[in-house]
Amino acid sequence: MKNIYRNSAWLYDMDNRDNLTVDIPFYIEYANQQKGEVLELGCGTGRVALSLAKEGVSVTGVDLSEQMLEVFRGKLKTQPELADRITLIHENMADFNLQRKFAMVIAPFRAFQALTDDNDIENALACVRKHLDTNGIFIINVFNPRPVMDESWCFCEAVQWEQSDELTGNYVMKWHSGDKIDVDNQVIYPRYKFEITYPDGKKEYVTDEFKMKYYYNEQLRRVIEKAGMEIFEEFSWYDKSPPGGREIIFVCKAK
């Protein structure tokens, strides 16, 4: 099972939670510091890449979901001035060779957690290191799990967010649930269900199931270091809050 938003890609951009908005200045800051091209792993519908391109940054976006990339391409059609700065590639972040190097590689908002197989994780980080230029940096963001992850993580279906779409008049409610957890392999299985109410009152339901690897801080640190990179900055939020909070954000470079 792959996290490709097969059914719900067209609804992804309605999610405006803080994780998906406040990280933009963070990535723009580092892109401006690096002064070079950026590779985004799990670029999705262009949330980060488009913001970087608007700042004059050239971005190559890689994503396994053709559905998400199709939404991204649709946005570029309405913003042709950005098209020359963005290259989209339908590819697996666990195995790619773009035959070029980048000033910055990023995996925003837990995109890296879509890799749950140890070999895929190792291969992905090897690919990242291979694609970093001499002074390049890699930024990875995963959620900081609760101290003990067990069956108590599982939860029944609940509303995560709801809002109206001004363009279509649709009213969308997103439900999420935690169906199961594999403690031995540190994999959780969330499920999303969208209830779309159209202006004529008709309802439609769209569901996608996912699997995500979770990491503890020191564990992820060891994985990064084993891949030949070192962490030189660490935060728990995009305002550069110190470690120990809601997120794990590592800024890395090749050893």
Query: pLDDT per residue over 148-192, tens digit each?
Result: 999 999 999 999 999 999 889 999 999 999 999 999 999 999 999
φ, ψ (nearest 5 deg) of residue 60: -105, 125
AA letter at 98: L
- Confidence at residue 19, expressed as pLDDT on a 0 to 100 scale: 78
In this structure, the number of other CB atoms found within 10 A of the CB of residue 80 comes to 8
- Confidence at residue 20, expressed as pLDDT on a 0 to 100 scale: 84
Q: Given the structure tokens 């995560």, which residue do they identify?
A: 160
Answer whether 72's CB lies under 8 Å from 61's CB: yes
pLDDT at 234 over 90: yes
Query: pLDDT per residue over 19-53, tens digit each?
Result: 788 999 999 999 999 999 999 999 999 999 999 99
Query: pLDDT per residue over 89-131, tens digit each?
Result: 999 999 999 999 999 999 999 999 999 999 999 999 999 999 9
Q: How much is the average pLDDT of 200-220?
A: 97
Answer whether 100's CB lies under 8 Å from 131's CB: yes
